């Protein structure tokens, strides 16, 4: 569970999904599954605490933004 608590791990997964699959319908499925996992991840943490609130809410948007960066790099590189 500690690996899921780090926004960087969510960002890396989003980036590699975008890099590997590009902006295609094939990348939307892992992205959707990842967002569902994010919802359950937030639900499992319960109410936000001041010490962990930033990390808790940063992971979802970071996952999406790095997915976009991943498929931009995919478009430039391949």
Residue 5 has pLDDT above 80, yes or no: no
Whether the pLDDT of residue 1 is over 70: the answer is: no
Q: What is the pLDDT at residue 6?
A: 86
- Which has more pLDDT, 11 or 42? 11
Average pLDDT over residues 11-19: 94
Reported as type and span, the H/E element at residue 57 is helix 53-77
Tally of domains within the chain: 1
Residue 67 lies in a domain: yes
CA angle 44, 50, 54 (to 5 degrees): 70
Residue 1 lies in a domain: no
50 within domain boundaries: yes
DSSP state at residue 6: -
Residues 6+ apart with CB under 8 A from 23: 71, 74, 75
d(CA 73, CA 10): 18
Q: Is residue 2 part of a domain?
A: no
Query: Percent of the chain having pLDDT more than 70?
Result: 99
Please give the residue range of the domain that contains residue 42: 7-77
């Amino acid at each position: 569970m500690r690996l899921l608590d780090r926004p960087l791990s969510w960002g890396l997964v989003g980036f590699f999904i975008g890099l590997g699959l590009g902006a295609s319908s094939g990348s939307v499925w892992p992205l959707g599954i990842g967002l569902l996992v994010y919802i359950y991840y937030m639900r499992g943490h319960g109410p936000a605490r001041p010490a962990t609130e930033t990390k808790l809410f940063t992971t979802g948007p970071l996952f999406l933004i790095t997915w976009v960066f991943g498929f931009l790099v995919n478009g430039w590189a391949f």
